[in-house]
């Protein structure tokens, strides 16, 4: 079996680093073809080694992900900038292992038109749904259930979110992720983005996708079928598992993570989402129901607001206040890439106008 040549967008981030670990552990299956890195230094050789700050980074990244010798592209750079290289890779016929929620949130219809069964989810929740659907027909699906750890604040109802600090928001109880994704987990916007993503990935209507709180992060998601049966995917809260599933499909790799010890699991708890304390999934559902490019507006304002919170410029609840305000004030339509990117620009400009007003 020839080795798959893999390009990683976001090679020095959390997902990228774990993808490199999987590649290194299975040298008979994979090899590094190219790397796009952020501010941290690259400490390994590759045919392409690109820094995001390079003046020609965008052009070289497109060359890398469309190169005839590249087999798989792992998209793990956060935010809207992941969209263009992902589309380029899909249009070039590459398999894309997608870890960046924003790609499908912004341009789900456009991306899925190019996917042709070559898009493989890396998010643990979507990987879980995908695995539960192997061998099943989508017409047999009654609903999808995405599980959420609840982030750092679910189990701490005493915390006044108006005074929540950056350190508290970044103190995730289960997962090790980058700062943007970790704050999204604290607001539960990550579940809102995942809801939109699941809608596009699996072709399931928005009103048949639910979110439940599962603090242990052992059940990564569930699928309910029309006959009343359900499937759930369980595993350690370790991102190397969904990465390996995406890279090796349809095979499974031996020993990626330690198996669960079922006798010692104890109780697995589930609870309904509190839409008052955590309104982000509702905002995302509303944006998706409004159609393109409203999800791009939601995503762009959220990105800007999370960045402002991390810099200490707005308070924690100001993130979702900004998102809600943008959705109320935006007036537009269209699903072309140009229209989506114009909505993205509008939303970022709008946040600059209101940033001082969302944290009284």
pLDDT at 360 over 80: no
- Band (45; pLDDT cuts 50, 70, 90): confident
pLDDT at 76 over 90: yes
Q: Whole-angstrom Cα distance, residue 14 to residue 242?
A: 13
**pLDDT tens digit sequence for 128-175:** 999 999 999 999 999 999 999 888 888 777 778 888 899 999 987 776
- Band (2; pLDDT cuts 50, 70, 90): confident
Task: Tell me the two tokens of residue 344.
Answer: 């993205």
Handedness of CA 158, 163, 167, 169 (dihedral sign): positive
**pLDDT tens digit sequence for 310-356:** 999 999 999 999 999 999 999 999 999 999 999 999 999 999 999 99
pLDDT, residue 176, reads 66
Q: Which of 284, 290, 350 is nearest to 320 (CA)?
A: 284
Mean pLDDT of all residues belonging to the chain: 93
**pLDDT tens digit sequence for 182-214:** 999 999 999 999 999 999 999 999 999 999 999
| Contacts with 343 (C-beta within 8 Å, 6 or more apart), sequence order | 293, 294, 296, 297, 300, 330, 332, 334
- Band (1; pLDDT cuts 50, 70, 90): low
pLDDT, residue 248, reads 98
pLDDT, residue 175, reads 66
Q: Whole-angstrom Cα distance, residue 161 to residue 201?
A: 33
**pLDDT tens digit sequence for 246-288:** 999 999 999 999 999 988 888 899 999 999 989 999 999 999 9
Q: Which of 159, 259, 43 is nearest to 32 (CA)?
A: 43
pLDDT, residue 159, reads 77
**pLDDT tens digit sequence for 6-25:** 999 999 998 999 999 999 99
């Amino acid at each position: 079996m020839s080795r798959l040549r893999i390009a990683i967008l976001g090679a020095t981030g959390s997902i990228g680093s774990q993808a490199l670990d999987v590649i290194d552990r299975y040298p008979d299956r994979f090899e590094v073809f190219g790397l796009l890195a952020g501010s941290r230094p690259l400490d390994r050789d590759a045919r392409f080694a690109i820094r995001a700050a390079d003046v020609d980074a965008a052009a070289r990244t497109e060359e890398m992900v469309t190169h005839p010798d590249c087999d798989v592209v792992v998209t793990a750079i956060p935010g809207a900038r992941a969209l263009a290289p992902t589309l380029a890779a899909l249009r070039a016929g590459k398999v894309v292992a997608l870890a960046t929620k924003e790609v499908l949130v912004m341009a789900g219809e456009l991306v899925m038109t190019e996917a042709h069964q070559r898009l493989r989810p890396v998010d643990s929740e979507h990987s879980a749904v995908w695995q539960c659907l192997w061998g099943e027909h989508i017409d047999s699906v009654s609903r999808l259930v995405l599980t959420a750890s609840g982030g750092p604040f679910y189990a701490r109802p005493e915390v006044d979110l108006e005074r929540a600090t950056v350190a508290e928001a970044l103190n995730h109880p289960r997962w090790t992720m980058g700062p943007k994704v970790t704050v999204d987990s604290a607001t539960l916007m990550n579940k809102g983005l995942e809801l939109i993503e699941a809608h596009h990935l699996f072709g399931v209507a928005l009103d048949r996708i639910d979110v439940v709180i599962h603090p242990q992060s052992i059940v990564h998601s569930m699928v309910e079928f029309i006959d009343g049966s359900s499937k759930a995917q369980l595993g350690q809260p370790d991102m190397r598992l969904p990465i390996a599933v995406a890279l090796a499909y349809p095979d499974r790799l031996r020993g990626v993570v330690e198996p669960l010890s079922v006798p010692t699991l104890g109780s697995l708890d589930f609870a309904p989402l509190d839409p008052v304390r955590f309104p982000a999934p509702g905002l995302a559902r509303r944006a998706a129901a409004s159609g393109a490019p409203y999800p791009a507006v939601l995503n762009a304002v959220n990105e800007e607001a999370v960045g402002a919170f991390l810099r200490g410029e707005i308070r924690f609840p100001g993130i979702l206040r900004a998102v809600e305000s943008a959705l109320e004030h935006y007036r537009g339509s269209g699903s072309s890439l140009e229209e989506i990117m114009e909505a993205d620009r509008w939303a970022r400009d709008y946040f600059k106008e209101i940033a001082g007003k969302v944290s009284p």
